[in-house]
Amino acid sequence: MTGASQTNPYSEALSKPEFGTQGGEIPDLRRRGRPGIAAMTIAFGIGQTLGPFAVGANSDAMRSLSYALSVSAATLALGAVLAAFQGKVAQK
């Protein structure tokens, strides 16, 4: 397969469970105007970049990994609580 317009059948099959599509249709999130997904992806990337740095610096300063892991677990728990109380998003 050559050209950008052709779809790789493996990538299509792998993306269906992620996006929950039906009928063999892969959504183009850029055309549908979903800036929330872009913002979440950017925030996730920043967290993936800065998280290990912060844990490493914290572990070096405290001379222990347990404090940094406790802070990570507390942050995860806080995120889960905030997500549980998130309201419905209004449809346009």
* pLDDT per position as a tens digit, 30-74: 555 567 778 888 989 998 999 899 899 989 999 999 998 998 899
The pLDDT of residue 53: 92
78 pLDDT higher than 50: yes
Task: Tell me the helix, strand and coil percentages in the chain, rounded to 5.
Answer: 65, 0, 35
Is the pTM higher than 0.75? The answer reads no
pLDDT of residue 14: 61
d(CA 27, CA 52): 33
Residues 27, 21: contact at Cβ < 8 Å? yes
Average pLDDT score, the chain: 76
**Percent of the chain whose predicted confidence (pLDDT) is above 90:** 30
Sign, Cα dihedral of 6, 8, 13, 19: negative
Are the CB atoms for 58 and 67 separated by under 8 Å? yes
Residue type, 37: I
